[in-house]
Structure 1
Amino acid sequence: MAVTSTPETPLPVGEVSRLIGGWIDRLGTIWVEGQITQLSRRPGAGVVFLTLRDPSHDISVAVTCYRQVFDTVADVVTEGARVVVLAKPEWYAPRGQLSLRATEIRPVGVGELLARLEQLKKRLAGEGLFAADRKKPLPFLPRLIGLVCGRASAAERDVLENARHRWPAVRFEVRNVPVQGVHAVHQVVQAVQELDAHEEVDVIVVARGGGSVEDLLPFSDEQLVRAVAACRTPVVSAIGHEPDTPLLDYVADLRASTPTDAAKKVVPDVGEELERVGQLRARARRSVEAFVEREERGLAHAVTRPSIQDPYRMIDERADQLDALLARGRRTLGHLLDRADSELSHTHARVVALSPAATLRRGYAVLQKPDGHVVRDPAEVTPGEPLRARVAEGELTVRADVRGDV
């Protein structure tokens, strides 16, 4: 039930602790899973003390049990082992401390661990964390490589030595962390996040040597998998040997079978690159030489053409053709003009022959009234009316007589 308190009537700390103890007592007996971090078995003591830790959330709780309860699993349970305990939560009010009193301890077997990992793998895959389209490509030659590994470990030596053998100028930013045990997950996640925030780090390598399934469990932890999925920097997973496949391999942008393989995939081999450059230079030289030779052959073939050897020959041939065409044009035009002149002369002669003036020259005259009207009938004029008579050489003025004669 909720407890009422006000600034005027606050609850003492001891009362709050007592209330918390009451609430915890009502929780009853529960099953709890965790990893044993500390184990104390004092000779002759009837009680065993141990610390149970949740690596994913960095939380620990003290556990006590009778020696006969622990002796049933003493042969298979040591520090670092994962266990499931049936315990009653207890609250020690004077110090405000939570603990568990265990009545049964069960070790988590490998088969059960693998089944849980498979379930976690399916869930994370369903969220798209293992999708190929979200994986980032590695740079060809990183400026700075972040390395997360155990201190003075074989994995660290393999990565550093092989990478520097392949590319002597390579630089590393190393973070030495525990790679197994209860503190491994938290410190590996912290190291990855620090390297991801480093501006010069272009790729991060998480490396560890081989081990048992239990030893490699930190690299299948959900917290670490999600931290790697959130990285903006490409991450290379180099955990264990070829058969080992922790969940980190699926979420990483590139999986290396071993730390040595990671070094080969992160940096190029300077000898191979120099050989490749030499091959490309030779290929480019051959291409240029082949092009120049092809163009030289084309130029030599072009020089042998008559138009190049005697360029004026074509001009002279065209000049002769032009003179012939010009002469032909002149002749044709002359013939046309002569024919047109002849036709014009004949036409002129016909026009002159049919002209009224030719008729007048034969002695005829044309009578016209003062208004220019041509007289065709004597009845059209009156006696004494003045008329104009047009003859071949001019015109006369005449008058009509009473008889109608001029």
Structure 2
Amino acid sequence: MHYRTDYCAAQLNEAPQVLHIGDLRLHYQAYACRSHDTRPPVLLLGGAFQSFRSFAAEVSELLGEHPVILLDLPSQGGNLQLVPDLSLEQLADLIAAFAEELNLPPLMPIGLSYGSALAALFAARHPERCARVLLAGITAFGRPGARLLLQEGLALLAEGRCEAFAHGALTGLLNPLRLEQTGVAPVFRKALLRQIQRLSAADIERYRQNSQRLLDFQGFHAHPSCPTLVLAGEYDHFTQPWEHAHFAAACAQASCALIHNADHLAQFEQRDACASLYNPFLRGDALPSRSPGSSLLSNPQLLHLEKRHEPRLPPSQRQARLQHAEGGEWAVEISELGFFGGLLQADLPAIRGTRGWQLRCKDLPAQPLLPLRQDQNGLAFVFPHSDQQASKALESQFQPQQALPTAACA
């Protein structure tokens, strides 16, 4: 591997190097302090809506101690090649093929969101090629509510409802109830919303294929055996802290750090807190139980974190109406209501299909909802937040935040 030694952030906008493996194209940039550096390189793998430019600060922070490689696999980042037939596992195997082709020493991937799944699978499937791995936004993609929201997003895109998709996606990435704590500036939130609203047809197809890969993924049959650090934003609703902790508990040598005042974009919202853990972990230093902006979970805590991620409280007005677009309306009683979902009681027929439902509550616009589970306890549901005005009105009902109840989330 020949590394560039003249790194500056502007170079992340330049055309990448391209490695051809069969018909597949892998885009990368590689930097180090020396052009020929035999130390294990850090490999940066981004998530949806991210590009090499997203990692300007990380590259600067890491280059003092490690070579750094930024990699876009097909359909990731700036790599526009579509690979609808490749699974997550096959894409993770491409990382190993990349390392073999360039004769790299064992890698140290940092995977964020979608990139965390690829990094974790690479570490688990190719342990000889992975020295250690750092993951943020990782789950086994099995939580029913998260899967339902992904499916709804794909359905909205298929219908051409890009505005509705963008509002729902943004709510998953940036928890609107915690903007004050996470410090997300309105200008950043608006910029990200515009970016999602303006996805090109090619971007939408890449997003569709990548999301379908997550939905098709059957779970981790093996977990990383190398040293592993999992970073969880304490207010992350899309990939919740307890899911990060469960993943860490399944790894052979994992630690899980809770990043305070952060949600799914922890590495950008609380950059200093995350960065303070990067180099110590990559060096192999013992991590402190507490450091500025984060707390390390103890091993006994990993499987016992509270699963309920938001207050679910009896609303002031319990009586409401449940409607379906194809006809049908039922009187319901809301027993629990939160910003992200709730539980209602009613004499309902067996629910078939998740789309076309609305909840009509007094003093609130009609709220689109997705039925999640119907049993003797009632109908559990999640809000897709695809209607901006309805979502904003609902948000106003949950400010300021109240303490979480002790009951576990459905």
TM-score, normalised by the number of residues in structure 2: 0.21
Kindly name which structure, 1 or 2, has the bigger radius of gyration based on alpha carbons: 1
Higher relative contact order (CA 8 A, sep 6+): 2
TM-score, normalised by the number of residues in structure 1: 0.21
